[in-house]
Amino acid sequence: MSYDITDNISKAYGNNLQIKGSKYCLYSGDVNKDGIIDASDLSEVDNGTILFLKGRNPADLNGDEVVDVSDLSIVDNNSNLNVAVIRP
């Protein structure tokens, strides 16, 4: 079963999506899985960037198997938006 969330913001609980071009997308950056994208996530990605971690890693937000400034940019932008999980 598949469910396409990309065509309407109301397809996710609480309309908790962001628009990129003409598609709605999930927020990325909750590295420590605590339900909010904040400074602790930023710190983990920053540390991964300094160590130039490679391979599968939670801090690799864009999926290119390298933790670098492109991943840092994602978590930095979303932490400034105070993105948090919305649950029923």
Answer whether residue 67 is part of any domain: yes
> What is the count of structural domains for the chain?
1
Q: Work out the mean pLDDT of the chain and round it to a whole number.
A: 94
Q: Is residue 73 part of a domain?
A: yes
Q: State pTM to two decimals.
A: 0.84
pLDDT value of residue 51: 95
- Report pLDDT digits (tens) over 12-48: 999 899 999 999 999 999 999 999 999 999 999 999 9
Domain that holds residue 75: 9-80
Three-class SS state of 79: helix
> Is 3 inside a domain boundary?
no
Does residue 32 fall inside a structural domain? yes
For residue 86, tell me if it sits in a domain: no
Residues 6+ apart with CB under 8 A from 28: 61, 74, 75, 78
CATH number, domain with residue 32 = 1.10.1330.10
- Measured CA to CA, the distance from residue 28 to residue 10 in angstroms comes to 18
In a domain, 18, yes or no: yes
Q: What is the pLDDT of residue 88?
A: 87
